[in-house]
A and B are shown apart, each in its own frame.
Chain A
Amino acid sequence: MRMNLNNSTDYDCLIIGGGLSGLACGITCLSEGLSCAILSSGMSALHFSSGSVDLLGYFPEATVVADPFDALPRFIDMHSEHPYARCGINTIKEALSFFRQEMAKADLPLHENHSRNHFHVTALGTLKPTFFSQQSVFNQEIRSVIDRTPAITIMNIQGFRDFHPGLAAANLKRHKLFSACDIQCAEMHLPEKEKNPSPVHAMRSIDIARLFDTMDPDEIARHITAACPDGDIVGLPAVLGIEHHNAVLDRLREKTGKIIYEVPTLPPSIPGMRLDNALKSRFAAMGGVFIQRETVEKGTIADGRVTSIRTKNQNDTLTAGFYVLSTGSFFSGGLVSRFDHIEEPVFNLSLARSPEARCLGSENFFARQGHAFLSAGVITDEAFHPKTPAGETVENLFCTGAVLSGYNPVNQGCGGGVAVATGYVTGRRIVRDFYAITNQRQGYPDLP
């Protein structure tokens, strides 16, 4: 663990919430020499994500964005409360580039389409615009093959319950980009292993991914080829390993002579877990302290500053120079909805809107406008400082990611981008404020 530079507190920066945003913030702080700890209550929402990182997918309304950096200025103009408006476009760019570099260092290369969006194919055969994807979902080779109306086989592993190629194929065929393609469904057998832990039909994606990590890729390749002798692209459920997915993928590509494409399916999401692992390994490698399975019982605010937080399991009181609330939205527990109100449970921060709980959902589940619960959250100032119910700004507390209000991660296709950008920008601000204070104490002039 890195020594904290300010000996009066436990950490320079204490982050509550170990998801995409909290980790992005933590890594940013660590990269500038601060000591940093993350308290994480459980599984990251990344385990329920596609594993790609969206920046801005739809604007205006449901129109697909091809070039997000081209669309962002107007988007920000029209959404002044959006976290992107508070980050600034250059910082968003910087955040993404930082994030990509860090993931590459953790052996998870992320691919982008010359700073434009690309799409990923979903398990229901729809196309979703996104910005960063893992190499099994987007790379220049996939891009060039798509242009040649390839023969596509969507393939399941026989017995696997959580992927149904027929659903993907039928919808994909209806898409104009693929209407001329020959799209087939197939099933491959899982190579016999001496000790398959259980039958395939009892396995979740994670169980199969672990097998892929240990099986001989050449044998998997033989089974793929047997199930699909022809065809240029094989779309498999995203289970191609967690630890060794890069090696598995390269080997399968080489042995089958086909493009192996991963389609994320029912959770846990293997591509999401790879992102989560890469983030955590970077955070740990840089000296961050990741405290698992710990929740914050209560945070104390006095005179517009957080003075300490108390943890639930260990009943520890922890202090830091800066605190970051990256606890996510309702699902992750960052926001709590009661019968007649919603609240932020750690600090009881001011929320953007407190509609009656039962107004949080639209009439239809797939309503065009989405749901009010998606944009509920904490209100902050331009620097992501929240407010107490009394209206007092909390100077040493920042909020990032899904606990923030003012954006709709699904309808705007910006969940991952907001998490990364707000995490990064907050990390930068903490670093700046931290050195300003330290230098002042040590009699140095402020950094420019």
Chain B
Amino acid sequence: MKHIETDILVIGGGATGTAVARDCALRGIPCVLVERTDLAAGTTGRNHGLLHSGARYAVKDFESAVECITENRILKKIARHCIEETGGLFVSLPEDDPAYHEALVQACRRADIPCREIDASTALAMEPNLNPAVTRAVTVPDATIDPFRLASANALDASERGAQILTHTRVTGFLLDQDAVAGVRCLDRCTRETFKIRAKVVINASGVWGQELCRMAGIELIMFPSKGAMVILDYRINNVVLNRCRKPADGDILVPGDTVSLIGTTSRRIAYEAISDLRVTDDEVRTLLKEGERLVPNLSRTRVLRAFCGVRPLVAASPGETHGRNITRGIVLIDHQQRDQVKNFITIAGGKLMTSRLMAEKAVNLACRKLGENRPCRTAAIPLPGSEKPISPGVRALPFSESVAQSTYYRHGQRADDILEDSDGGTGLICECEMVTSREVAYALKHLHVKDIVDLRRRTRIGMGPCQGLFCAYRSAGAFIEHRHTDGTDATKMLIDFLEERWKGIRPVLWGDTLREAEFSYWICQGIFGLGKTVASSPGRGEGVCLADEFE
């Protein structure tokens, strides 16, 4: 059996796990990351992509607010190509309690979150689509962050600095050495190969899945998953992050991102068993649209592209806690040697996308103590690949239109230079909605830990636009054959998996143009491609779409 040796093994390829891998690599510590599915496929990729200023927490959770504004400043430096500095507004509507506005301003000042009170007309000038009933607003340094890009850039930096990133790899069990964790057994889900990874320290950064993972190591760690649903609109109807100036509740954040806007979120406690089968309900969609419309009235006339949900990984701080009273939304760092008498095993959980870098720092600091290392954390100072300096697309002659080049820079920062100038991969567009070229796809397939078309979507935004991915998915399947020599049947399966994955988000919002688009896709897939009749779509059946008898 294949086996890998390393110093630190991190389990989980979300924002935290990839930040841990990068942190290790920057300290020069050998590290391996295993991720069950894909980078940013869990909670990381299932939030609103808001780079919090901390204002949202300032009134109720001062510590989180301070963490947010600190990390906000760091991320704007090290991850600038993942961030759009839109600015943010806390907007008071007539029905909102004016006292909350006062409390927010005071709390922001205390937490050193720069804020400015503005009147209704100034707010409307900043954001013309805003509800004209707005009474006043507060500006804060909110921004937007692309979590897929952040995780991908972390992983890219880590792997370029020597870390090994293994996606689509499931941990099947722990290697235990008496009272110590010595590594894990793994299954490569693509090749079905099993192997072992031996490590001096194992860091569990698997978020809400940490409960299952810890159970494999004989440890009880109770999670209290809370589902958050979001709805994506087909247009960028706002340019500034809009927050309702009230006690945080459902549907009070409207975040612009790339070509779309997103309303978030709801909060519903769910059973742990439900985390792998999340669905957005009609009720959630209704609530989000109703509340979102209060912020931006023309939202009701905007096409809804899709709906999705994620799980907040809330952790019970102490063992034996089963009722969820003593849970925290803050960062939870657990040294299982102290808590459970299991050596060389650390859990880093709780927290937020905003604090993922800080969480990694804390976890790797603890791991270093276990390794007897004292190399300092450098993640706050060194920019991520692509974010070295602000983007200034050159005037070099490229065989691309300006808008295509801009989109590539927008997504990959300075790495776009390599992509646009690479002669491998053509200059044609794979995804017209998001202007993804076949060069960008070739680059992602080569460097960004992509194993299927769904992964490719997270690295490039193919299939995230109005068409929700039919042309681009078919062309991407072709790219897998061209660049990876993927077998045609496997590429067909990837195409089907991609379309099924997109469908999950489309189905809850199946009306208006979204239904029209879905019907169109369905005709193409079935009427022209006959996709539903491929062997890949119905294993073992073969459908008998055979008129062989006719021809005998």
**Residues of A in contact with B (beta carbons under 8 Å apart):** 45, 48-50, 62-64, 66, 113, 116-119, 122-129, 143, 146-147, 159, 161-162, 164, 166-171, 174-177, 199, 201-202, 264-267, 269, 329-331, 333, 336-339, 356-358, 360-361, 363-366, 371, 373-374, 410, 415
Could you say which residues of chain B place their CB within 8 Å of the CB of A164?
A: 474-475, 477-478, 481, 491
CB contacts (< 8 Å) of A50 on chain B: these are: 527-528
How far is B507's CA from A358's CA once the two chains are assembled, in angstroms?
7
From A203, which residue of chain B is reached at the shortest CB distance? B428
Asked if B68 is at the interface (CB within 8 A of a chain A CB), the reply is no
For the complex of A and B, 7 pairs with smallest distance between CB atoms: A170-B488, A201-B428, A164-B478, A126-B530, A357-B511, A365-B503, A122-B530
**Do A125 and B534 form a contact, CB below 8 Å, given A164-B474, A167-B478, A170-B488?**
yes
Q: In the complex, are the beta carbons of A357 and B534 less than 8 A apart?
A: no
Chosen A-B contacts, 28 in total, with CB atoms closer than 8 Å, are A116-B550, A117-B547, A123-B474, A124-B529, A125-B488, A126-B545, A146-B551, A147-B552, A161-B438, A161-B475, A162-B474, A167-B477, A167-B488, A167-B495, A170-B489, A171-B535, A199-B427, A202-B429, A266-B528, A330-B516, A330-B519, A331-B523, A333-B516, A337-B511, A338-B512, A357-B511, A360-B510, A410-B522
> Which residues from A are CB-within-8-Å of B552?
147
A199 to B282, CA, bound (A): 46
| Contact of A358 with B510 in the complex, beta carbons under 8 Å | yes
Q: A126-B533, A329-B519 are in contact. Are A119 and B500 (CB under 8 A)?
A: no
Task: A119-B550, A364-B500, A371-B522 given; name 11 further pairs at CB < 8 Å.
Answer: A64-B546, A66-B547, A119-B547, A123-B474, A123-B528, A127-B545, A170-B488, A199-B427, A199-B428, A357-B510, A366-B496
Chain B proximity of A191: nearest CB distance (Å): 19
Rounded to whole Å, the gap between the CB of A350 and the closest CB of chain B is 20
Among B512, B522, B528, B551, the one with the most A-chain Cβ atoms within 10 Å of its Cβ is B528
Total A-B residue pairs with C-beta atoms closer than 8 Å?
203
Q: Is B254 an interface residue (CB 8 A)?
A: no
Residue of B nearest to A363 (CB): B507
- Pick from A159, A169, A176, A410 the residue with the most CB of B within 10 Å: A410
CB contacts (< 8 Å) of A162 on chain B: these are 471, 474-475
Are A64 and B545 also in contact (CB < 8 A) when A122-B530, A170-B492, A360-B515 are? yes
Instruction: Tell me the minimal C-beta distance from B300 to chain A in angstroms.
Output: 9
Q: How far is the CB of A357 from chain B (nearest CB, A)?
A: 4
B510 touches A337 (CB 8 A): yes
Q: In the assembled complex, which residues on chain B have CB atoms less than 8 Å from the CB atom of A168?
A: 488
When chains A and B are docked, how far (Å) is the Cα of A356 from the Cα of B471? 29
Contact B528 A264 (CB under 8 A): yes
Does residue B259 face the partner (Cβ distance < 8 Å to A)?
A: no
Bound Cα distance A330, B513 (Å): 9
Looking at the assembled complex, report how far the CB atom of A365 sits from the nearest CB atom of chain B, in whole angstroms. 4
Q: How far is the CB of A109 from chain B (nearest CB, A)?
A: 21
| Bound Cα distance from A357 to B509, whole angstroms | 8
A170, B550: Cα distance in complex, Å: 23
A125–B547 CA distance with the chains assembled, in angstroms: 14
Residues of chain B at interface, number, CB under 8 A: 67
A119 vs chain B, min Cβ distance (A):
5
Task: Return chain B residues, CB-CB under 8 Å to A177.
Answer: 546-548, 551
User: Smallest distance from the beta carbon of B541 to chain A beta carbons, Å?
Assistant: 9
Bound form: Cα–Cα A113–B533 in Å: 22
A375 CB to nearest chain B CB (Å): 12
Chain A residues lying within 8 Å of B548, measured Cβ to Cβ, are 176-177
* B539–chain A nearest beta-carbon distance, Å: 12
CB-CB nearest in chain B for A200: B428
Q: Does B100 contact A (CB under 8 A)?
A: no
Contact B492 A167 (CB under 8 A): yes
For the complex, would chain A's binding face be called helix, strand, loop or mixed by DSSP majority?
loop
> What residues of A have a CB within 8 angstroms of the CB of B529 in the complex?
122-124, 126
Q: How long is the Cα–Cα vector from A253 to B535 in the complex, in angstroms?
A: 32
Complex-state Cα separation, A159 to B103, whole angstroms: 61
For the complex, what is the distance from the CA of A174 to the CA of B537, rounded to whole Å? 13
Q: Is B320 an interface residue (CB 8 A)?
A: no
Interface 1/0 per residue, B472-511 and A, CB below 8 Å: 0011011001100001110110011001101100111111
Q: How far is the CA of A66 from the CA of B506 in the complex (A)?
A: 35
Note all chain B residues with C-beta closer than 8 A to A199: 427-428
- Is B546 in contact with A169, judged by CB distance below 8 angstroms? no
Is there an interface contact between A331 and B524, defined as CB atoms closer than 8 Å? no
Partner of B530, one of A128, A159, A331, A356: A128
Given contacts A66-B549, A166-B481, contact A126 B527 (CB under 8 A): no
Q: Would you call A127 and B546 a contact (CB within 8 A)?
A: yes
**Interfacial chain A residues near B511, Cβ < 8 Å:** 337-339, 357-358, 360
Let me know if B128 is at the binding interface, CB within 8 A.
no
Interface: B299 (CB within 8 A): no
Provide the bound-state CA to CA distance between A337 and B513, in Å.
8
Q: Tell which of B487, B523, B549, B550 touches A410, judged by Cβ atoms closer than 8 Å.
A: B523
Q: Which residue of A lies closest to B475 (CB)?
A: A161
> How far does the alpha carbon of A218 sit from the alpha carbon of B487 in the complex, in Å?
34
Rounded to whole Å, the gap between the CB of B481 and the closest CB of chain A is 4
B370 to chain A: closest CB distance in Å? 46
**Distance A147 CA – B289 CA, assembled complex (angstroms):** 58
The residue on A at minimum CB distance from B281 is A358
Tell yes or no: B124 within 8 A of A by CB: no
Chain B residues in 8 Å Cβ range of A366? 496, 499-500, 525, 531-532, 537
Would you call A117 and B550 a contact (CB within 8 A)? yes
Q: Which of A66, A174, A269 makes the CB contact (< 8 A) with B528?
A: A269
Interchain CB contact under 8 A, B520 and A166:
no
Is A161 a contact partner of B551 (Cβ separation < 8 A)? Answer: no
- Nearest-neighbour CB distance to chain B for A165, whole angstroms, equals 9
Q: Bound state CA distance, A92 and B482, in angstroms?
A: 46
**Separation in Å of the A52 CB from the closest CB of chain B?**
10
Complex: A113 Cα to B546 Cα, angstroms: 15
Known A123-B528, A147-B551, A161-B430: A361·B518 in contact at CB below 8 Å: yes
**Cross-interface CB contact of A175 among B478, B523, B546, cutoff 8 Å:** B546
| Set of chain B residues within 8 Å of A364, measured between Cβ atoms | 500, 503
